[in-house]
Structure 1
Amino acid sequence: MIRKTLLATTLLLPVLSGGCVAKAAFDVVTLPVKAAGKAVDWTTTSQSEADRNYGKKMRKAEEREGAERKQWEKECRQHKRNDCDRYEGYRARD
């Protein structure tokens, strides 16, 4: 009698628990796959990140070019040179 009750309870436990045991087992099995996926996401650069980084790099280069050009023009005016229109300094490029 006790065996039958124990067996019935054991068999009905997953049904009565609403699949919690099955869900927990599924989570344990899929955890390494999810962790590996996160690691790949952290180590790779998406296209939007690459575009954002490239834009940032180009803005800094243009800013550096502007500052250099301004400094060059200032020095040119101070020394009253005739070649002030031929700036051949840094150009922002890839």
Structure 2
Amino acid sequence: MLVGRLEIQLRLFECHSLKDKRSVIQSIVRKIEHRFPVSIAEVGHTESLERSTIGIAVVSNGHRHIEAVLDKCVDFIEFENSCEIIETEIEID
């Protein structure tokens, strides 16, 4: 069994309150949960209006499958107009 972990640092646009930010993040989280077989949550910068860190995990028996799923998640987030990816970190154990 292999576990893949993806940490994504985001810069958020047009968030004037934490309520705005949480709405944007929850939208991204829900969309990814429905499209991909992953666990996802906001894991950092929870009190910042301009930044967020999202953690995504996937379990599989194949290294390539994990990479493919996590890459698709990154690609999906890149097309969100409400944020920009600053940094990604992938670890597979």
Say whether the fold is shared (TM-score over 0.5): no
Greater strand fraction, Structure 1 or Structure 2 = 2
Calculate the TM-score normalised by the size of structure 2: 0.26
Indicate the structure (1 or 2) with the bigger Cα radius of gyration: 1
Greater helix fraction, Structure 1 or Structure 2 = 1
Calculate the TM-score normalised by the size of structure 1: 0.26
| Structure with larger RCO (C-alpha < 8 A, sep 6+) | 2
